[in-house]
Amino acid sequence: MKLFTYVITALLLIGYTLNSYAVPKVIPKAPAIAAKSYILVDYNSNKIIAQNNADIPVAPASITKVMTAYAVFSEIEEGNIKLDDRVTVSKKAWKTPGSRMFIKVNSKVSVEDLIQGMIIQSGNDASVALAEHIAGSEEAFASLMTQHAQELGMNNSNFINSTGLPDPKHKTTAKDLAILARALIKRFPQYYKWYSTKEFTYNNIKQANRNKLLWRDKSVDGMKTGHTKDAGYCLLSSAKRNDMRLISVVLGTNSADARAQESQKLLNFGFRFYESHIVYPATKALKTVRIYKGDSELLPVGVAVDMAITIPKGQYKNLKPAIKINPQLVAPIQKGQHLGNVEIRLNNKVISSSALIALKTVNEGSLWQQAKDSALMMME
């Protein structure tokens, strides 16, 4: 039995090449993960593939900085700050303990350099400098972080600082961090690229990214490590193989090697045994339906957002879609109006459903058209 376990573990650790192996006949349970909590999520469908204690609030350590970055990116997007803004480093930022990018007190550092120092070097000093530049104080910025968390549906998260330094009230969960990672990748792809950077030099000091998976697995392109005595060793990671992206969160392992190894186990399991598909892209016509009493007789319908699914490998051919449209649709109909539903079934079980919407507006037709269609509707 032990030999069998070792073989399975070894296979899972080989890497993304497993993704090209033959379709598995059986989907096993997820591998045992030596962590306080963890979760594995498909980015496209948001389906949870594996989890344990994923809703239990824990200390996130420096993975906190993913939320710090999300708030900073939001400020850039809204035009409140710019990448080339010069930030004056306060004494508090300079003195912040823990990992740092080694900025000097009263020096002026660009927002872009501070972001890279925070993401790649995990600089606590950079995080505080950005927080103070945006909100005036780190405390005010932490409140902004919590507001963003609430808007994203991170219901078990509360942020007290921008760094992840220990505080009994500073908590989040594996599930909430997966929500955050998915939102950041989707909303800020132009900035997500920094999470794959392996090293960054500032003030003639070169530091390497602490995410060991960036060197071990070429499909991994982010995101963030964390470690404190309270939190243990943590890793939020994301990897893309072909058209499938997975997000893994592993919290509370006992070493830097362990957080990388356990994360790799989860990622390899997901890619080996599951596949992801966008079955219906957003705003693409799924069907054209008859409209009565309108200035057009035909109306394309589709889904408002990509309809994605995660299924066991090799099951795509067994999917059965079903489209249900409201009978006798009558103009006026507005673009985006809910007109029915589409379901995807696998083995007689609904695995995904979405509203069908009008993809364009159909206004009322002429009096003649309305009269003619009234007669047709009575005969049907």
Reduced to 3 states, what is the DSSP secondary structure of residue 58? strand
Looking at residue 3, its amino acid is: L
By the 8 A CB rule, do 257 and 272 touch?
no
* pLDDT surpassing 60 at residue 176: yes
Binned at pLDDT 50, 70 and 90, residue 87 comes out as: very high
Q: Which CATH superfamily is domain 281-379 in?
A: D-Ala-D-Ala carboxypeptidase, C-terminal domain (2.60.410.10)
Mean pLDDT of 299-326: 95
- Report CA 244 to chain centroid distance, whole Å: 12
pLDDT at 10 over 70: no
Supply the pLDDT for residue 5.
Answer: 38
Domain 2-275 homologous superfamily, CATH: DD-peptidase/beta-lactamase superfamily (3.40.710.10)
Q: Which residue has the tokens 């964390």?
A: 226
pTM of the model: 0.89
pLDDT tens track for 317-339: 999 999 999 888 999 999 999 99
What distance in Å separates the CA atoms of residue 374 and residue 331, rounded to the nearest whole number?
12
For residue 187, what pLDDT is reported? 98
Whether residue 112 has pLDDT greater than 50:
yes
Domain with CATH 3.40.710.10 in the chain: 2-275
Gap between the Cα atoms of 117 and 132, Å rounded: 16
80's tokens: 């409140």
Does the structure show a pLDDT above 60 at 21?
no
Sign, CA torsion 336/340/344/349 = positive
Is the confidence at residue 2, as pLDDT, over 70?
Answer: no
Domain with CATH 2.60.410.10 in the chain: 281-379
Residues annotated catalytic, as ranges: 62, 65, 122
How many residues are recorded in the chain?
Answer: 380
Amino acid of residue 279: V
Strand, coil or helix: 49: strand
**pLDDT tops 50 at residue 22:** yes
Question: What are the residues facing 274 on neighbouring strands?
Answer: 312
What's the confidence (pLDDT) of residue 23? Answer: 65
Confidence (pLDDT) at 375: 74
User: DSSP per residue over 219-287, as a string?
Assistant: TEEEEEEEEETTTEEEEEEEEEETTEEEEEEEEEESSHHHHHHHHHHHHHHHHHHEEEEEEE-TT--SE
For 50, the 3-state DSSP assignment is strand
Instruction: Check: CB of residue 282 under 8 Å from CB of residue 300.
Output: no
Q: Give the residue-averaged pLDDT of 188-214.
A: 97
Beta-sheet pairing, 307-312 with 274-280: antiparallel
Q: Would the pLDDT of 369 be above 90?
A: no
Residue 3 or residue 107, greater confidence:
107
Report the chain's C-alpha Rg in angstroms: 25
Is 15's pLDDT higher than 80? no
Question: Which stretches within the chain are classed as H helix?
Answer: 2-13, 64-77, 91-95, 111-119, 124-135, 138-152, 174-187, 189-192, 213-216, 256-273, 367-379
What's the distance, CA 315 to chain centroid?
Answer: 25
Q: What is the mean pLDDT of residues 153-165?
A: 98
Whether the pLDDT of residue 14 is over 90: the answer is: no
pLDDT at 20 over 50: no
* 9 pLDDT higher than 80: no
Average pLDDT, stretch 171-176? Answer: 98
Mean pLDDT of 84-100: 98
Instruction: Work out the percent of the chain whose per-residue pLDDT is above 70.
Output: 93
| Average pLDDT of the chain, as a whole number | 92
The 10s digit of each residue's pLDDT in 240-286 is: 999 999 999 999 999 999 999 999 999 999 999 999 999 999 989 99
